Amino acid sequence: MTDSWEIDVGGLVFGGTLALALLAAGAASAQPMVAGIWHVSGKISSGKTVDNQLFEIEATCLFMQSGEQISGNCTGPDATGPITGVVAGNSIEWTWRSHATTALGVAGMTGFNGTIVRAGQIEGTMTSTASTGKGTFTQTR
């Protein structure tokens, strides 16, 4: 007895190795691709009750992707540094480890927790080691 595989694609039935290849291609296409250049902007509060300042983040980031893993680099007007993260389904989490490039720059880690709302746009929340507050960000291509 031999194992047989069949898949129905729009009324056409494929069998054997071709059926397995079609299933694998479908599974691979379900993974969102976030590789490329992104423009990130956001604001985060200082978390203070008095004089609650907003820190603004503006950066251009190059995302590289291998499966669910994200790596790359972000550069803003006053800071630069590597990124690492994970994308799964419509969810994306990544961290920017920035170091200051000017006297106004802030060094530290900023965490981004977002949702892919449509192709070319991610929105979510962010936190930073430079602040006890939380903020929101938008990421577009």
Tell whether 77 and 10 lie within a shared domain. Answer: no
Q: HSE, CB side, 13 Å, CA atoms: give it for residue 70.
A: 27
Q: What is the CATH number of the domain that holds 59?
A: 2.40.128.120
Per-residue pLDDT reduced to its tens digit, 115-139: 999 999 999 999 998 877 789 999 9
pLDDT of the residue at 32? 87
Tell whether 70 and 122 lie within a shared domain. Answer: yes
Q: Which domain holds residue 26?
A: 1-30
Q: What is the mean pLDDT of the chain?
A: 83
Tell whether 43 and 14 lie within a shared domain. Answer: no
Q: What's the whole-number mean pLDDT along residues 3-9?
A: 53
109-116 contact pairs (CB < 8 A, 24+):
110/44, 110/57, 112/40, 112/85, 112/137, 112/139, 114/139, 115/90, 115/91, 116/32, 116/34, 116/87, 116/90, 116/91, 116/92
Asked if residue 19 lies in contact with residue 6, where contact means CB atoms within 8 angstroms, the answer is yes
pLDDT category, 22, cuts 50, 70, 90? very low
Q: Could you tell me which residues are beta bridge partners of residue 86?
A: 69, 93
**pTM of this structure:** 0.75
Per-residue pLDDT reduced to its tens digit, 65-104: 999 999 999 999 999 999 999 999 999 999 999 999 999 8
Query: Considering its fold, how many domains does the chain have in total?
Result: 2
